[in-house]
Amino acid sequence: MQNQYLHEVAVTAIVIKEGRYLITRRAMTKRRFPGKWTVPGGKMETNDYLALPKDTEFYWYNVLERTLKREVKEEVGLDIKNIDYVTSLATVHDDGAPSLVISCMADYESGEVKLQEGETDDFAWVTLEEVKDYDLLDGIYEEFLMADKMRKGMRSEWDRNIKC
């Protein structure tokens, strides 16, 4: 029996630069969701904290933020800042692996987009209106709507019928 407490944990970033959002297309060679447009991010690894000293007697802090900064840097070559929580989602993949994804938004800090070979094969900086023209991973558009509302000082939970 699989350990019910063991999940793959991933964190993603809706990166914002000058009012536009970064989207990337997953490489066609990817096992999960090839060719779909999404946002940069990736899986947390134990190396994201085990090699570091603990911040308190028992805990490491900012592990998701550190993972997200690493993943965005690896995947698209950018540095990000001001990371905020947007929502969370869970799935069980076709291979049986349960996955928890923490969706965040972050401000662009520096760098030029340089795609990680084998991960993504295209990118675009888009407005909220333009992003609708892309073949997005299901649910991502609503995350963009949530992030846009957050930028305007409003909060909401993910909802298929969320409005601007």
Average pLDDT over residues 35-39: 96
* Interatomic CA distance for residues 68 and 74, integer angstroms: 10
Indicate if the alpha-carbon torsion angle 55, 60, 61, 63 is positive or negative. Answer: positive
For residue 67, the model assigns a pLDDT of 95
Average pLDDT over residues 36-61: 93
User: How does pLDDT run across 121-139, given as a tens digit for each residue?
Assistant: 999 999 999 999 999 999 9
Give the domain ranges of the chain.
8-151
For residue 7, the model assigns a pLDDT of 81
For residue 105, the model assigns a pLDDT of 97
Residue that is written with structure tokens 């690896």 in the block? 74
pTM of the entire predicted model: 0.90
Domain 8-151 has CATH 3.90.79.10: yes
For residue 2, the model assigns a pLDDT of 61
Q: What's the chain's average pLDDT?
A: 92
Give strand pairing partners of 108. Answer: 80
Please give the angle made by the CA atoms of 74, 32 and 143, to the nearest 5 degrees. Answer: 70
79-92 vs 98-110, strand pairing mode: antiparallel
Q: What percent of the chain has pLDDT above 70? A: 96
pLDDT band at 1 (very low <50, low <70, confident <90, very high): very low
